[in-house]
Amino acid sequence: MKNKEDLVFGNLIKEAVTGEVKQEILAIIKEVESLTPKELEADLPPIDGFPDVPNWHKYEHAIWGLGEKVRQLLFKHKALRKDKDIIKKILQISLDPNSKRGRQSFILLLGNINCKPFANQLITQINDKSVDGQVIDSIYKMKASGYSEIISPYCHNKKTWIRNIAKKYIEKFGN
């Protein structure tokens, strides 16, 4: 059994590490902000063989990858998923269409109950085909009810995974 001093020391170490990781996440977010164009750029030509799917800009790939890096850090440091500073920065990126599809990974980071208060803001992005499925997925994972009317048309989306997550949302939260 650990004595009181060991527990206090252990908690201090844990807090210090959490603070360092928070600063690392905020630095990643600053990098995303620097990569995001100031104005919305046009889509690139379609990917060969997929006429409805434009190629990704380099910054989209970079932003998406940085979102994945944040996801890995939050997976290891679960307490930071409740950090309001981090959540607000993630939301800010998620709401910026200039990041295009790069923000998909950030929108998915909002898919937890701690982010439920931000559902009203996130749902505003549902009409953007670059992120519509990620928005529905995150709203579902937030357990945010009240969006059935907005989400139900996606039960007929041509993309199977979007159709399926929309149907799951409607099943759980109804009309």
Residues 110-158 have pLDDT tens digits of 999 999 999 999 999 999 999 999 999 999 999 999 999 999 999 999 9
The model's pTM:
0.90
Element (H, E) at 42: none
Q: Which helix or strand (DSSP H or E) is residue 96 part of?
A: none
- Tell me the two tokens of residue 132: 């519509």
Q: What is the dihedral of CA 134, 64, 66, 126, to 10 degrees?
A: -30
Residue 56: how many other CB atoms lie within 10 Å: 18
**What residue ranges of the chain have pLDDT lower than 50?**
1, 8-11
Q: Are 170 and 151 in contact (CB under 8 A)?
A: yes
The pLDDT value given to residue 16? 61
CA 103 to mean position of chain CA atoms: 7
pLDDT of residue 47: 87
Q: Tell me which residue range forms the domain holding 38.
A: 4-173
pLDDT of residue 18: 82
Q: What letter does residue 56 receive in the DSSP assignment?
A: P
Q: CA 36, CA 106: separation in Å to the nearest integer?
A: 13
Q: Which two tokens stand for residue 97?
A: 């269409």
Please count the other Cβ atoms lying within 10 Å of the Cβ belonging to residue 147: 21
Number of domains the chain contains: 1
Contact 133, 141 (CB under 8 A): no
Asked if 116 contacts 140 with a C-beta cutoff of 8 angstroms, the reply is no
